[in-house]
Structure 1
Amino acid sequence: MLLAAGIVACVPAMAQTSGGTGGATPAPADPTLLPQVNVTGDAETAFSPVQGFVARRSVTGTKTDTPVLETPQSLSVITRDQMDQQNAQTLNGAVRYTAGVTPETRGAVGTRYDLLKVRGFDADTYWNGLKLLGNGWYGTPQVDPFLMERIEVLRGPVSVLYGQAGAGGVINQQSKLPTLDPFHEVGIEFGNFRHKQLTFDLGGPLDADRHFLYRITGIGRAEDAQVAQTRNERIAIAPSFTWRPDNDTTLTLLGLYQYDPESAAYGSVPPSGSALPNPLGRISRRFYDGDPNFEKFNRTQGSLGYQFERRFNDVWTVRSNGRWFHLGQEYNSVYGSGLQDDNRTLSRGTAASTDNLDTASFDNQLQGRFNTGPVQHTVLAGFDYQHLNTNYRSGFGTAPSIDIFSPTYNLAIEAPERYLVRAHSNQYGIYAQEQARLGGFVLTLGGRQDWADSTTRNLTYDTTSKQSDHAFTGRVGLTYVFDNGIAPYVSYTESFVPQAGTDRTGKAFDPERGRQYEAGIKYQPPGMSALFTAAVFDLTRKNLLTTDAVNPYYQSQAGEARSQGVELEAKLSVTESLDVTASYTWLDTVYTRNADPTAGKHLPAVPSNQAAAWAYYTFHNGPVTGLSIGAGGRYTGETWSTDNSFKVKSFLLADATIRYDIGQAIPQMRGAEAYVNGQNLFDRRYVASCYYGEWCAFGFGRQVFAGLKYRW
């Protein structure tokens, strides 16, 4: 907020002279006056709820409220309606039908983390435009998707806006925010695996003039996991409060408390008996490679944040977002380390870690909207900062082996010896962006300079390492928007990510760099709620760490990986009754350069072909008025193992839902809705991926949920 106040203090002079000399005139008023407030019935903004599947505006691709049609990069928005229809239980579940995304690479295990890929590479997750920072070890944040209004997937490098961000893309989760109109919803849900869930979502004005608004959202969930002997439990609550002293100023405060006392397993199965034949039979999907006598996971997360906006006139606006985030976690795990020659005895190891981390993130922006002659400008300048302070006490050990076909649990397992690490890091960035429109042409230019430093100290072994990096990244994109809603575009964009450590000569590693060329077409038919997108791209990551060719105990920066592909996506409301989403992705991912034997091989856990389609129909007339039915299918093609010695088979999964508005039959129960949702309806047994060495993961079996919601 102090940074925001500083910007506010320096802007009035500009605001007073914005309509003066120099040929600049204010642009037409921005329809997004109050982006922090969801306004029922008002024009859609990049922050507001969306009815149906089709979002027309987004903030993730430009940090300004921009039509998706004018964003020169591939972008998808998963709306709250889509998440509810498909009953998304996790972030991975929410993006299952999205082009360019490979979700659930760890299948039914590893749900404690949001492990997924975009364009073949691990994706970074953001919350309200600020990165969810982890400590690079086991301390990684995860926020429940029920607390979100929308999830936006921006594909390709975006360091020009977000600084340290992976080359594949980012996933930005946007919170449910206070509403101008009263909103109340409670829900209860049951399912197989002893699934039980309670939810509530309440919001509205606190005074007659609607200067003060609130929202409080929460969820409680408990269930057995697919892996035997393990459970998932969660309690999360997210209160928020908005102050609107006038029509040009908003301040929203956001809080979060989330406690995960248990979170399934973080294990695997060996390839033999899962992805590959085993002469002794098939491994059960419920096989647990850990031990409840040792296994432990609980995580507590807390956050306080704010979103501030002040519009001085039709030209100048300042915004500031900030967040403090705390994570405390206990992690004990027993994991498989390799199948022995008898094809049934699995060697095992242990990992244990107590993690604590605190992060602070701020993003401050000055936006101007004006015309110079026939050219319409939206200019953005910003400064952001993120700080991380962490400590973790970790260690690795051994555990007794286990029979994969007849496992025995509750064995005596010795706790590993631990070491203590303390680390902190800082990242500063300044950035500028121009969106210039002349006729149908929209030119997007951006540049950013980053500075990053980190210090890591191992207190047990009395060692210290320091890292300092800086980088410039840019983006240029050109779009032409035809009157008929067709918008072809081309773009070039870059990324950078610092890497800790040194090579065998003691030289610090350079940051990983990424660059992408992309061309595509977007189509939004006038007068129709629909968006069709197609994109082709060439994406390269450089300076990847790989095993040193001279000394295998060190790493070198000889690695390079390339991802090329085609993405197609459609989201549309065919009629008032029918919503449809469909996607197809073709990817060619390969290590183009490496010092180890992976050079020339395909990236593991990334399919060459993916396709998904979902349709949802609501009856508005006739004897079944109020009934809605939905069905979809998800196809994932073959994926390679780490060493490319075998392929994991493709799989096709079916999902379905049926919902009924009870108020249509019983007027006294207006606002009540019952539903049944099924995922992997035919209980297909499949391996999600073999992602590292001897580690593979089974995907989710059939999941069935039945629930009741009441809104008033």
Structure 2
Amino acid sequence: MIKTILTSSALAALVLPTLGYAEDASEAADRSDILVLGTRTDEAEVPTQTGSRLGLTILETPASVETLAGDVIRARGDLSIVDAVTRATGISSVANPGNGGTGLAARGFSGQGSVMQLYDGVRLYPGAGTVTFPTDPWTVERIEVLRGPASVLYGQGAIGGAVNVISKKPNSDRTEFEAEAGYGSQNSWRIAAGLGGPVNELIAYRLDISRTQSDGWVDRGNSEGMAISSSVQLRPTDTLTLTLSNDYSDQKPMRYFGTPLIDGELDERNKRRNYNVTDALMRFKDNRTTLRAEWAPSDSVRVRGTAYRLTTHRKWRNLESYFWNGATGKIDRFDFFGIDHDQTQIGAQTDVTLRSYWGGVKNELLVGFDVNGIKFRHSNDFDSDPPPPGFSEPVDPYSFGPGLYYNTFGVRPQYRTQTRQYSLFAEDRLTISDQLSVSAGINFDHANVKRYVTSHGAGGSTTEALRLDKTLHNVTWRVGAVYQPAPAISIYGQYATAVDPLGSLITFSVGQAAFKNTTGDQVEAGVKARFLGGRGLATIAAYRIVKKNLLATVPGSLPPRQDQVGQRSAKGLEASLTLDLAGGFGIEANGTVLDARFDQFLTGGTSFNGKTPPKVPEAAANLWLRYDVTARFQTRLGLRYVGKTWSDNANQFRVPGYAVVDGGISFAMTKNVAANLRVYNLFDKAYATTTYNDEQWLLGRPRSIDVSVSARF
């Protein structure tokens, strides 16, 4: 059946053009509303929010910035934010259940402490290396990606880059409705809808809701999720806009921690086995309320303010680690972990932009502050800190009873933290001439973390003691220039500094407090060109990033002991091309090659000098081809390539690279309703997206077919 569908789809894509099936321009214009036809016109000239707080365009920004439009993300069928953002240049997934399924790698650095997650421009603080919001692309207007250090804009934790998810906002011009319902392989289904528009001249609204469910591609791999995004916008005057938003997410991800290798190889007989227990649990609930105000009393002054409150509740009850034991021919299962996170982030961000002219020279200056208070509570069922290896359960690799979760202590509070953070930032851009501009930025970041440890006594009594009171100060800055020999060509260069925390800022451990934050810097240069009247955009960039004062666990130390040593670096080339041709052809291509290594990394008498850091691919590429057969019929074909990685510092455990082909067709049955067929992993490639332990691979989705009906009015 699958082969029949795929063959029919391929034949349709190839045969219909040769039949001369075409429509005149008026009919095409009338029927193409539901389909995503081409890229956004003059994308390079649209202001972005992520590469600069000044709202510079891609051509004006002396950094690598990329935008993924929400409509294009949904047309491709990307089912998560990670799926969508890893289509961008040089971004790859390191997502696993421990980091909330959102971890990314960029420019030779990986994890929540090096690739920052933002929502509508506001930083999300990882708790114990975990971020669980947002995840559903349905509520997304666009995703902006800044590659390279972003600490000068957003504070510590962004030496590799920053990903900014920008939510849908009310449209005050007209009422819009869109919806999609789909079903596919693994008994997966989705239903989603969005409605928004003006109530009157003063008020506009937007509401989006999405519900998903799947049986998954491993035993007991079921998952479900819900996302709701709502906002109301008030414009009491032409110069003042107020927006109140609430975003809610409830996820029950697939309770799958990976597939253990057998004799160092992926075995066909166990690649769909789930070694977790029957009653495993993972659930992430996030809710964020935001009030935004923007006031522009004149063309030369703009004031923006944002106040927000984010609450997060996470639960894990799992048997997480599985290793092949060659002596017994069994899989040893251990690490029964029950963990709860309760996190509240309350903050405010305000900036003022002043535009002026000095003797015909334009200057834009932005100054602002960001302040946050974060409360975090960690509960677990460990009997000591750090936890022991746990109870090992050997099982047959291919046929076994999953068993039940083993808990002798009960999940109870272990520690809580209070973090107070504020930063002061400034950014300036001087336009010296029509061809040359210079920009600079600086950020002073202050944070204080207090950690209280809970002790449990007889009869359920508890005592709490302050074990950590750590204050950190960081100053980061960048300077860059853009030269435009022609209006559509930009040659740029920049130097930037950055700071990464040791682990997660708000969950500093007592052992980490003895060390200072890691620091880094980057040199980058590149060229950006817009052509074909905005229907083409090409970029190329070269960079080198150095990160110093690494934190490492001393090999063989019991209990595990950490040390701060050496440096690592990454240098590479990135290129991208977006092209929307006449005749309905479209191309989006990008690729990166880099050299990431430990330059000086000697700990406990063991040297890792010259080794590649784990979970960092040194080559990656994406390709999307689009052909609009007619104004009603669109075909798409995509390739995702990720090069090999290592799962350990010593590079003893290699994870092969992979190439996955996706595709789809859409047919507009009317101007407002379309039928869609999407194929994932067309050639049924078995591959690991990342690892959980050295030889425990998290496998990607096998060949799958989804069908859906979408509507837009």
581-590 or 552-561: which moved more?
A: 552-561
Alignment match, 2:454: 459
Distance in 2 of aligned mates of 1:264 and 1:92: 15
Distance in 1 of aligned mates of 2:313 and 2:95: 25
Deviation at 1:138, TM superposition (A): 5.3
Unaligned runs of 5+ in 2: 1-37, 383-389, 457-463
Q: 1:650 to 1:243 in 2, by over 3 A?
A: same
Report matched runs for 1:182-197 at 5 Å. 182-197=175-190
Contact 1:435/1:442, CA 8 A, preserved across alignment: yes
Alignment match, 2:11: none
Alignment match, 1:237: 228
| Residues 25-78 of structure 1, C-alpha deviations (whole Å, 9 max, x = no match) | xxxxxxxxxxxxxxxxxxxxxxxx983794533110111221101111111111
95-104 or 431-440: which moved more?
A: 95-104
Contact 1:98/1:569, CA 8 A, preserved across alignment: no
Q: Does the alignment pair 1:630 with 2:616?
A: no
Report matched runs for 1:171-182 at 5 Å. 171-180=163-172, 181-182=174-175
Alignment match, 1:3: none
Q: Does the alignment pair 1:511 with 2:517?
A: yes
Contact 1:105/1:605, CA 8 A, preserved across alignment: no
Q: 1:117 to 1:562 in 2, by over 3 A?
A: same
Contact 2:179/2:192, CA 8 A, preserved across alignment: yes
Alignment match, 1:667: none
Distance in 1 of aligned mates of 2:494 and 2:329: 51
Unaligned runs of 5+ in 1: 1-48, 664-669
Distance in 1 of aligned mates of 2:130 and 2:256: 11
Alignment match, 1:689: 690
Match of 2:108 among 109, 120, 130: 120
Contact 2:381/2:407, CA 8 A, preserved across alignment: no
Q: Does the alignment pair 1:297 with 2:296?
A: no
Distance in 1 of aligned mates of 2:204 and 2:533: 33
Q: How many residue pairs get matched?
A: 643
Report matched runs for 1:547-566 at 5 Å. 547-548=553-554, 553-566=560-573
467-476 or 610-619: which moved more?
A: 610-619
| Residues 113-156 of structure 1, C-alpha deviations (whole Å, 9 max, x = no match) | 21221112222210000012232255643342211100011011
Alignment match, 2:544: 538
Distance in 1 of aligned mates of 2:249 and 2:692: 29
Contact 2:352/2:367, CA 8 A, preserved across alignment: yes
Deviation at 1:200, TM superposition (A): 0.5
Alignment match, 2:253: 263
Match of 1:90 among 65, 68, 80: 80
Paired AA for residue 254 in structure 2: A
Alignment match, 1:433: 427
Distance in 2 of aligned mates of 1:125 and 1:215: 24
Match of 1:376 among 353, 362, 372: 362
Alignment match, 2:459: none
Report matched runs for 1:284-433 at 5 Å. 284-293=270-279, 295-341=280-326, 342-396=328-382, 397-398=390-391, 400-411=393-404, 413-416=406-409, 418=411, 419-433=413-427
Name the SS for the 2:380 alignment partner: strand
433-442 or 506-515: which moved more?
A: 506-515
Match of 1:51 among 40, 48, 53: 40
Q: 1:95 to 1:412 in 2, by over 3 A?
A: closer
Distance in 1 of aligned mates of 2:304 and 2:348: 11
| Residues 350-407 of structure 1, C-alpha deviations (whole Å, 9 max, x = no match) | 1111221110132100001121113111110011112210112113443523322223
Alignment match, 1:61: 51
Q: Structure 2-normalised TM-score?
A: 0.86
Q: 1:169 to 1:497 in 2, by over 3 A?
A: same
Contact 1:77/1:153, CA 8 A, preserved across alignment: yes
Q: Structure 1-normalised TM-score?
A: 0.86
Q: Does the alignment pair 1:611 with 2:594?
A: no
Contact 2:677/2:706, CA 8 A, preserved across alignment: yes
Deviation at 1:549, TM superposition (A): 7.7
Q: 1:502 to 1:656 in 2, by over 3 A?
A: closer
Contact 2:192/2:211, CA 8 A, preserved across alignment: yes
Contact 2:599/2:609, CA 8 A, preserved across alignment: yes
Alignment match, 2:4: none
Distance in 1 of aligned mates of 2:240 and 2:105: 38
Deviation at 1:312, TM superposition (A): 1.4
Name the SS for the 2:82 alignment partner: helix
Distance in 2 of aligned mates of 1:430 and 1:297: 38
Q: 1:330 to 1:547 in 2, by over 3 A?
A: closer
Distance in 2 of aligned mates of 1:689 and 1:259: 24
| Residues 555-602 of structure 1, C-alpha deviations (whole Å, 9 max, x = no match) | 111142211111001123223733321001101111122233333211
Distance in 2 of aligned mates of 1:544 and 1:677: 43
Distance in 1 of aligned mates of 2:95 and 2:250: 24
Contact 2:294/2:305, CA 8 A, preserved across alignment: yes
Q: Name the Cα RMSD after superposition.
A: 2.3
Q: 1:689 to 1:327 in 2, by over 3 A?
A: closer
Match of 2:134 among 136, 142, 149: 142
Deviation at 1:693, TM superposition (A): 2.8
Alignment match, 1:656: 663
Deviation at 1:443, TM superposition (A): 0.5
Q: 1:706 to 1:285 in 2, by over 3 A?
A: same
Q: Does the alignment pair 1:528 with 2:531?
A: no
